[in-house]
Structure 1
């Protein structure tokens, strides 16, 4: 009887010890969470912080705006907004093993720094298969944001006072092609080799007057001419559309035709040619000077894009389809960052460098054929610019 009583007492004491340990652990966990810097912690589930493997994420994203920008190329508020959009619009979901914010952080880190898979494994404490899997999942979710993040084109109004754009009434922006280095199978490398000998894809980019992308069309081989890529883009049923009465600025590599206003060939054009006090001496030169100043927005957009995302500066080992998708994703993220980050260090750094010459409509333009009417439109615009230029100089 005494032995049974001793066993009951012993079991009761052990139970009390376990209960005290559980209570102690609960209070310790509550204190640990409360001690974290919650100033920028969002109230959504994907920012709750209870896993040891998320320590690196706390340091990378939630530590400060500086570390968040250095690692993901965006500030914390923009990061939170992106996570929310990917959940509500892109269909990105948390899993048993990884919450949404860590999935997005891994994806942005790969784009921003273009590190090898084994380096990302060490950074986040995840396996290589997990890194690869979630990169593709987030990539698909980001591409689904096209309707939300691509800029809706807006024409220059008659009463515009912008010195760079006021001459181009009805203009929607500028477009050009850029080459991005990629990896392709050996048997098709010849088609992707551009005139400089690099293996690239020729990407058509269209941007608005403030440098946000309206349309992006990757996938063509590097050997393809810019005009051929544009013709294919406007010929596709769901491709690039230009509404009647509006147009985009293009360089001399494209045809001067309805919807696409090109400079005069054989005349001074690039901005570097107008330095050191040189002035236009004819309507054609004046037009080219104004045209170059406005169309430079697409060169600037491409420059900032490649400076922000290191994955666009060197070829990756993803399949061609994945490479084309992350090019689109980089442009979408570029637009989001341009809208949210007023003080963007990447933009400031790009502008400090002396750069070299760098919507569905009812009646869209479907062909690219020169016409006398469009040539006269450009000629009248050139004469108007030159007369205004001479009048301003004579009044000084």
Structure 2
């Protein structure tokens, strides 16, 4: 058996520098810590993602707190499909003028992206997904989203405590809402999950996952449209740019270059091997879409933002483009995030009178790949 290439220390201390050094080096699996492996070979990534229990165990952010819930199982697939349909229905019910008004309101207030965009999405589609949710309950969900966004950048003990409180209140608000309703969504979830507590956990996880992911994809796309590049310093203003590529192509390219789900995880549950590397129970695999999406064997100019490439994607791209994972445990909200982002971009003329001022210039490689923090501002 072969051994994984060892890269101790560099990945955890400075992810972006390490990843950019490794991009295109054709090393499919490397050990960056004892029992921890970074996987970027296309075949190995798909093999690991196909597993949900043995030998590779998956956890789903949406349902991770629900006991006994196995992503991709016969039990979970129908519920995931129903939730995906409900997300699509709710979003399509939002009028375009509401989207435009919400973008303008947020820009006029100078709210910091991407965090404020999470709340924008909750306001836009939450009223469709959760009709009759009380203002107090909606505020609890907004507070939980803000706590999650804050943890991406400042993971202090106090912030974690505030986050736990906010998330607990968000769960409780959805519990109260779902417990007294007989609409198809809460009833279908209760039948599948067995309790109102688990319904609340599932809905809360779903809202957090899709709002935060959609917010980050939108922010990344707008930043890239306006010419942002790594190393752009704080204080820089990015003016509106004339874009001609379809919104769907821009979203796909933003997700290729800066995939929000940049690191997917699997726990090894049985002795096995991957790419000839022996693995034992308890080892962790981190499947790196950031490196996969920059494979120079497939993508020309892999470090450049070129939405035009999606008019005729390169041969072999499907195996090396996995922004939402792969297989039965792929993200339930993937269709929603792409379509919602493209629809918002079509309404983004509301931002034409605003620059974006960079406040915190560095991307954050946390649970999600968060873009630089920016604020909309009137020129001058």
| TM-score of the two chains, using structure 1 as the length reference | 0.25
Over alpha carbons, which structure has the higher Rg? 1
The structure whose residues are more often strand, as a share, is 2
| TM-score of the two chains, using structure 2 as the length reference | 0.26
Larger relative contact order, structure 1 or 2 (CA cutoff 8 Å, min sep 6): 2
